[in-house]
Structure 1
Amino acid sequence: MRAAAFLYPWDVVGDPDAPARLAELGVQQVTLAAAYHSTRALTPRHPRHRIVTARHSAVLYPPDPDRWAGRALRPYAQDWVAEPDPFGTAARALAAVGLQVHSWVVLAHNSRLGADHPSSVVRNAYGDRYPWAPCIARPEVRDYLVRLAAEAAVRPGARGVELESCGWYGLAHLHGHDKLAGVRLGGAAEYLMSVCCCRVCLDGYAELGLDGAELTAAVRRALAPVWAGAAVPDGGGRAGEWAAVEELLGPDVAGAVRAWRDRAAGEVQRAVVRAVRDAAPDGFRVLLHADPAPHRCGPDAGVDPAAVWTFADGVVVRCAGGAAARAAALGPFAPRPVGTTVAANLTVVAGMGGAPDRLAADAAHAAALGADELRLYHAGLATAADLAAVRGALRALNRSAGGRAQGSGADPAAAC
């Protein structure tokens, strides 16, 4: 299977050995961050540092001032990599050893943007704002996302893009010093805490016959047992999760909320992909980090698993939690047009819950479920032992594919 590893530019900039080390893994592609959220990242092999602190969301290249002139919402520059164009420097070094580079662009997840422009973010039924989650239904946010995608995706040297957070973000957020675990929220309650009740969204619900005050009251009533410590319906799994939302809100209210949010997400996703295609050369691949349940929020934003093929070249699907979870994540994307891609995203950092020692078996299972590519999270964060396991697994997969191809008379290079 074609395999790609996720990477940050700071994993390469200043480390002359990094490109060859990546090539030796057996991957064909690096998915390199061009626009990314705040993070504190380990760099276990870098000759100059061990920790990189990206203090806020930023683009990892010099943004075009003309593109952003006169706009309040605009990307932030970075200053934690001593390089004017970290993406470009890293991309050239990776291409020099034969690796194809695709950009990795995080869109609707930006805490600094939300802090600076509080009216632009998701606002829950209690009036609390989520600064990390721009409301994608707002016109100014949509304009920002479309412009950012076109600029950050089509960097010199990039052959494609993978768009993360291309849809609704909500309550869930890997936040510093998080204190949300005191009350256990299941999937349905987390969704209700993610429903946006900003003025634009309330007007959108009203267009569909749902009064804003009625909605916020319904959400609060549904969540009241959670705060009292009672168990609430959760359903389990994507379909059961949505059934639990309908039970909590009532099918009519839930349906109106879902209709507005699905419409907003679909419009943003299509507009973003169209903007990238308009800016990109022929053959430039556009993939979305996606969840097959349209109501899901987060970095793998919910999509319609049938409609996504009408505008995107493929999806990157998080495959965590074992065989059953992997089947549930990949299965809905299985019937797809020829020439499209389903990439199984597997964590290979043992310290982050990954299983690099099971990579070959997990990849084979993903392939049986319809995945034709792998994404490995994350080559820069992995230990030497993790990377050794990845190397061995990819070699085993290539040998297996070559054997099957020779047995069938096919070209081994095209076997998987």
Structure 2
Amino acid sequence: MRASAFLYPWDVVGDPDAAARIAELGVQQVTLASAYHSTRALTPRHPGHRIVTAEHAAVLYPPDPARWAGRALRPYTSSWVASRDAYAEAAEALAGAGLDVHSWVVLAHNSRLGAEHPDTSVVNAYGDRYPWAPCIARPEVRAYLVELAAEAAPRAGARGTELESCGWYGFAHLHAHDKVAGVGLGDAAQYLMSLCFCSVCRDGYGAAGLDAEESARAVRRALEPVWAGGADAGTGWDAVEKLLGADLAAATLAFRTEVARGLQESVVAAVRAAAAPDFQVLLHADPAPYRCGANAGVDAGHILSVADGVVLPCTGGDAAREAVIGPFAGREGVVAANFTVVRGMGGSPDTLERDAAHAVSLGANQLRLYHAGLAPDSDLTAVRAALSHLGG
């Protein structure tokens, strides 16, 4: 059972013991961020710091000036790691400890891009912009994300990549100092609040035979009971259909699915064109096509015809794992079960052995561990024990 731990370059750069410590966990691989969104991260073992504040989405390597010359949308560079090429420095140290390194690329999640180029953002049915969520239907956004993936994924020394947020992003973000918990937005209401009504998406709905303005009004009408009573509108596609009506729900999903598939196909093709022939390309994904966010909604059959496999969110109970792994069971490709192993972030490292075995019984063939740089020593000790038993 191949296992990989997620890491940021700043977990390794400046810490001479980091690579060996990760290798001792029993993983064979590290999934190392090369392009990441804004975050504030704890580094509990680093000899030089305890907190890293990544102020905005950025690449963690020096971007090629020629590649981005003349482009309005281009990647931002980081200033919070003391290295000219933090990714390369960390990757070299990890490879020196005997670990395979794969890049970790976050695509359609970028608050600074939305702040500086507001026309690139998702616009909800109320006219509110989501600056953290680039609208992937917009040609300029699509071109930027494809180019970013082609540069950020096949970094020197990387044997593969994992593409996060390679699809629609929407309402859910956990924005800085979030104050949105006053009304419980369930799965269905999240979908409605994530529908984009920017000018490009309005044209897209029109081409699909929808009246964009009437569709936006329908979304607002459907959400009125949610705002009035704070009631959870439900979970699953049936709940979306109940809120919006089956025909309109299906039409919005058809448009969004076509856009997302086009992006995913273009991104994977661009990465393959830039990488070595045996370079592995995985997507962080959810098998419910209507879902958006870090784990983009996909159709299992389609995405495995495009990429080499998927990384699936598996933290939670048995039913949650069954729901995400089940559609991929028995298919060719990598099916990596992703477990949060930090107790303070909702993970359960003490049950990792049992949970991973359950994931394997459902069809998973690899493990991902989120996140070796954020976990305290006690959580890493539990991970080490679980992996030793799984491997033995």
Q: Please, what TM-score do these two structures have when normalized by structure 1?
A: 0.93
**Deviation of 1:296 (Å):** 0.1
Letter in 2 for 1:365: H
Q: Indicate conservation of the 8 Å contact 1:333/1:342, yes or no.
A: yes
Kindly indicate whether residue 371 of structure 2 is the aligned counterpart of residue 374 of structure 1. no
> Partner residue of 2:304?
309
Q: Indicate conservation of the 8 Å contact 1:110/1:134, yes or no.
A: yes
Give the distance between the partners of 1:121 and 1:351, measured in 2 at CA: 32
Give the distance between the partners of 1:397 and 1:14, measured in 2 at CA: 32
**Deviation of 1:232 (Å):** 5.8
State which drifts further: 384-393 or 245-254: 245-254
Kindly indicate whether residue 99 of structure 2 is the aligned counterpart of residue 99 of structure 1. yes
Q: Indicate conservation of the 8 Å contact 2:287/2:327, yes or no.
A: yes
> Partner residue of 2:316?
321
> Partner residue of 1:246?
241
Kindly indicate whether residue 358 of structure 2 is the aligned counterpart of residue 383 of structure 1. no
**Deviation of 1:335 (Å):** 3.0
What pairs up with 1:6-405 in 2 under 5 angstroms? 6-229=6-229, 231=231, 233-234=233-234, 236=235, 241-337=236-332, 340-399=333-392
Give the distance between the partners of 2:164 and 2:230, measured in 1 at CA: 35
SS of 1:122's equivalent in the other structure is: strand
**Deviation of 1:321 (Å):** 1.5
Give the distance between the partners of 1:352 and 1:253, measured in 2 at CA: 37
Letter in 2 for 1:356: P
Give the distance between the partners of 2:319 and 2:237, measured in 1 at CA: 19
Give the distance between the partners of 1:42 and 1:124, measured in 2 at CA: 33
Letter in 2 for 1:71: R
**Deviation of 1:247 (Å):** 1.6
Give the distance between the partners of 2:365 and 2:201, measured in 1 at CA: 38
SS of 1:73's equivalent in the other structure is: coil
SS of 2:10's equivalent in the other structure is: helix
Q: Indicate conservation of the 8 Å contact 2:145/2:267, yes or no.
A: yes
SS of 1:40's equivalent in the other structure is: strand
Q: Indicate conservation of the 8 Å contact 2:341/2:370, yes or no.
A: yes
SS of 1:306's equivalent in the other structure is: helix
Give the distance between the partners of 1:228 and 1:118, measured in 2 at CA: 30
**Deviation of 1:253 (Å):** 1.2
**Deviation of 1:2 (Å):** 0.5
SS of 2:194's equivalent in the other structure is: coil
Give the distance between the partners of 2:238 and 2:50, measured in 1 at CA: 46
Letter in 2 for 1:24: E
Give the distance between the partners of 1:250 and 1:147, measured in 2 at CA: 38
SS of 1:130's equivalent in the other structure is: strand
Q: Indicate conservation of the 8 Å contact 1:123/1:198, yes or no.
A: yes
Deviation string, structure 1 residues 343-367 (Cα, Å, up to 9, x no partner): 0000111111111111111110000
Give the distance between the partners of 1:334 and 1:376, measured in 2 at CA: 20
Q: Indicate conservation of the 8 Å contact 1:103/1:155, yes or no.
A: yes
Letter in 1 for 2:358: H
**Deviation of 1:230 (Å):** 5.6
Q: Which runs of 5+ in 1 are unaligned?
A: 400-416
Give the distance between the partners of 1:351 and 1:217, measured in 2 at CA: 41
Judged with a 3 Å threshold, the aligned counterparts in structure 2 of structure 1 residues 8 and 215 are, in CA distance, closer, same or farther, namely: same
Judged with a 3 Å threshold, the aligned counterparts in structure 2 of structure 1 residues 77 and 230 are, in CA distance, closer, same or farther, namely: closer
> Partner residue of 1:414?
none
SS of 2:48's equivalent in the other structure is: coil
Give the distance between the partners of 1:169 and 1:285, measured in 2 at CA: 24
SS of 1:297's equivalent in the other structure is: coil
**Deviation of 1:333 (Å):** 1.0
Give the distance between the partners of 1:373 and 1:319, measured in 2 at CA: 12
- Give the alignment's Cα RMSD to 1 decimal: 0.8
Give the distance between the partners of 2:316 and 2:88, measured in 1 at CA: 35
Deviation string, structure 1 residues 284-321 (Cα, Å, up to 9, x no partner): 00000000000001000101111111110000000022
Judged with a 3 Å threshold, the aligned counterparts in structure 2 of structure 1 residues 142 and 370 are, in CA distance, closer, same or farther, namely: same
Q: Indicate conservation of the 8 Å contact 1:106/1:164, yes or no.
A: yes
Q: Indicate conservation of the 8 Å contact 2:183/2:231, yes or no.
A: no
Deviation string, structure 1 residues 122-175 (Cα, Å, up to 9, x no partner): 000000000000000000000000000010001001000000000000000021
SS of 1:324's equivalent in the other structure is: helix
Give the distance between the partners of 1:69 and 1:140, measured in 2 at CA: 15
Letter in 2 for 1:354: G
Q: Please, what TM-score do these two structures have when normalized by structure 2?
A: 0.99
Give the distance between the partners of 2:337 and 2:15, measured in 1 at CA: 29
**Deviation of 1:231 (Å):** 3.2
Q: Indicate conservation of the 8 Å contact 1:225/1:232, yes or no.
A: no
Give the distance between the partners of 1:121 and 1:322, measured in 2 at CA: 34
Give the distance between the partners of 2:232 and 2:61, measured in 1 at CA: 46
Q: Indicate conservation of the 8 Å contact 1:37/1:109, yes or no.
A: yes
**Deviation of 1:90 (Å):** 0.2
What is the percent sequence identity of the aligned residues? 70
